[in-house]
Structure 1
């Protein structure tokens, strides 16, 4: 791979949030703690991929997975302090996209 003079921390952050669906998962969790099914229902991705992305985000310390010892067991996902610190980045991208990205239309021609 070609070496660049980019900041390695910037590169790592882009690698983390640049994975497909990761930004939208974080965006969804900005609303507050949610169960897996609620996150899955809000995004058009497979449960397998959602599970993989949540595990990645948990390993990075961005998402917290909390298990409640109830019957049946309840698992809830939320953003950590590190994850909540991404809110301004996600909100800025949201505003930028409103101004500069055209919405795709599904037309059958």
Structure 2
């Protein structure tokens, strides 16, 4: 498997990089991620579990049995790739 294929196994699924992008701003609670991204709750739960298992993020326990998510150092390493992909996307022709 190539290095790119290995990376895509971790962050190539739909919503994964958008979750990471949101967490680059700092720790976020589950409900906040769901509202800000508009991702279905079952999909968000799945992606968060996958990203946690891959060491991209971790859970922070909060009061009242809630939790927040924060990027690990491994997750923070994706910042440049996300910025570059965003610039690339901004240059795409707009589809109407």
Superposition TM-score, scaled by structure 2 size: 0.91
Q: Deviation above 2 Å: which 4+ runs of structure 1?
A: none
Shift of 1:99: 1.1
Shift of 1:18: 1.1
Shift of 1:74: 2.7
Structure 1 unpaired stretches of 5+: 1-5
Q: Which has the larger share of helix?
A: 2
- Partner residue, 1:54: 48
Superposition TM-score, scaled by structure 1 size: 0.81
Given candidates 66, 74, 87, the residue that maps to 2:79 is 87
Query: What is the Cα-based RMSD across aligned positions, in Å?
Result: 1.4
Deviations 1:78-104 (A, max 9, x none): 1000000000000000011101242x5
